Chain A
Amino acid sequence: MAQRSKEGHYLMLFIIGLAGWLVPGGGHLVLRMNRHAVVIFITIAVTFAIGLYIGSVGVINPVGAKPWYVAQIMNTPAVAALGQMTKTEEYAVYGRPNEIGQIYTSIAGLLNLLCIVNAVYLAHLRGTESAAP
């Protein structure tokens, strides 16, 4: 019985992490921290959108800028779809707008990673507190 509850706990942590990755703030939403979720979603989505607006959608470049792409994909799996779209390099991107756009989109991704880790940690704390006698 104890083994099953431990498995359930890890499954819950996984679901919360996945929710946070699918939609920024999703992990906090699952934890019923609605205000946190809204603030996180709006801030990360706006930061990511500013990056795309400044540098164009071409800043997501899974071929020529892999390290940046790894940080960008932390935003949401939808970035992978954008990456497939921009793989053909038909979208103009160059110079300083490219740098600024990459910085914005990558920082947005890393901020989402911070939120995912935070949501999983909070869920873990709740799980261990409720399990304590």
Chain B
Amino acid sequence: MPFIATTILANFTVPERITVDPKSILLLLPLVAAIAVVYKATKIPTIKPAHFLKESAILFGSIVIFMAVTALVLCVFAWIVTE
């Protein structure tokens, strides 16, 4: 048991290896999920699991789609400017 605890704690003292590539953008998703869940927890008066998950998923999807569209618009703008 102490070995497991020490191993878990040791993982928090050394940074993970994260490369700068398109895949690293996926690290955005857990953060967006957290924001969607906490925001909905503050807005919904009574939490019923199915309804709460549905509302959170809709907000999560909305944020991701909005960010994707924004990224696309910026890419097109950059392409027009540099061409």
Contacts from A to B (Cβ < 8 Å): 35-36, 39-40, 43-44, 46-47, 50, 52-58, 91-98, 100-101, 103-104, 107-108, 111, 114-115, 118
Residue in A36, A55, A115 whose CB lies within 8 Å of B15: A55
Partner of A43, one of B19, B20, B38: B38
Answer yes or no: B18 CB below 8 A from chain A CBs. Answer: yes
Could you tell me if A107 and B34 are in contact, using CB atoms closer than 8 angstroms?
Answer: yes
Q: Are A100 and B27 in contact (CB under 8 A)?
A: yes
A47-B31, A100-B27, A103-B31 as given contacts; A39 in contact with B41, CB under 8 Å = yes
A-binding segment of B6-14, B62-70, B74-82: B6-14
Find residues 12-59 in chain B having any chain A CB closer than 8 Å to their own CB.
12-20, 24, 27, 30-31, 34-35, 37-39, 41-42, 46-47, 52
* Contact of A36 with B41 in the complex, beta carbons under 8 Å: yes
List 26 A-B pairs, Cβ < 8 Å.
Answer: A35-B46, A36-B41, A36-B47, A39-B37, A39-B52, A40-B41, A43-B34, A44-B34, A47-B34, A50-B30, A53-B11, A53-B12, A54-B18, A55-B15, A56-B15, A92-B15, A96-B19, A96-B20, A96-B24, A97-B18, A100-B18, A103-B31, A104-B31, A108-B34, A114-B38, A114-B39
B42 contact set on A, CB distance < 8 A? 36, 40, 114-115, 118
Q: Shortest Cβ distance from B10 into chain A, in angstroms? A: 10
